[in-house]
């Protein structure tokens, strides 16, 4: 919101919307200069479920811009979790994404594959999920993507220190 306010020189008011797992905060506006700005960058009006993808200018950009996109997506919508490994709880790292936009997950998979991140996709109800798994991939992820969200960074540091991260660990 501060970024939008600085670009458009407006005071915006976010609203909480219930729904989904936890709901979300949204900014809604019908100001023509704002909607035109986003439409120029390929955002279409209406429901995004079937239209959201990674823009071609990101897919075709240099490595630093693609990594910046992945970082932003992970910091806001990604998940770092730890599964059981050989009977030991919370030791196998997984970077995960989920979206009802199948095109978004497929685009992300292609982008990550191009950047040498092994990943796989599976279907879960009406969404697609993507996972980058294992110690090697996690360390590569942190070194190259360089996440900034403290929730993810704290989990990673705890994992490096202890070798596991309990699912109820207070790391936020």
Q: What was the pLDDT predicted at 31?
A: 84
List of residues 6+ apart from 11 with CB closer than 8 A: 5
Rounded distance, CA 149 to CA 168, Å? 18
Q: What was the pLDDT predicted at 38?
A: 84
Q: What was the pLDDT predicted at 24?
A: 72
Q: What was the pLDDT predicted at 19?
A: 63
Q: What was the pLDDT predicted at 21?
A: 58
Q: What was the pLDDT predicted at 143?
A: 98
Q: What was the pLDDT predicted at 20?
A: 57
- Show the domains of the chain with their CATH numbers: 1-45 (no CATH), 46-162 (3.10.28.10)
Q: What was the pLDDT predicted at 69?
A: 97
- Report DSSP letters for 83-133, one per residue: EEETTEEEEEEEEEEEES-HHHHHHHHHHHHHTT---EEEEETTEEEEEEE
| Consecutive 10-residue averages of pLDDT for the chain (172 residues) | 85 76 72 86 75 91 97 95 90 95 96 98 93 97 96 94 79 52
Rounded distance, CA 75 to CA 68, Å? 10
């Amino acid at each position: 919101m501060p970024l939008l306010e600085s670009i458009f020189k407006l005071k915006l008011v976010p609203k909480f919307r219930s729904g989904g797992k936890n709901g979300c905060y949204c900014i809604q506006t019908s100001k023509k200069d704002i909607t035109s700005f986003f439409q120029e960058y390929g955002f279409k009006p209406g429901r995004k479920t079937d239209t959201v993808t990674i823009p071609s200018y990101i897919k075709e950009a240099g490595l630093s811009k693609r990594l910046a996109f992945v970082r932003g997506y992970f910091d806001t919508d990604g998940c770092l979790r730890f599964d059981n490994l050989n009977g030991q709880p919370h030791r196998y790292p997984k970077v995960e994404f989920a979206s009802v936009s199948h095109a978004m997950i497929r685009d992300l998979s292609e982008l990550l594959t191009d950047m040498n991140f092994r990943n796989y996709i599976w279907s879960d109800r009406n969404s697609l999920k993507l996972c980058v798994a294992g110690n090697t991939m996690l360390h590569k992820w942190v070194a190259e993507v360089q996440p900034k969200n403290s929730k993810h960074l704290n989990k990673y540091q705890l994992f490096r220190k202890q070798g596991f991260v309990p699912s109820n660990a207070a790391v936020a």
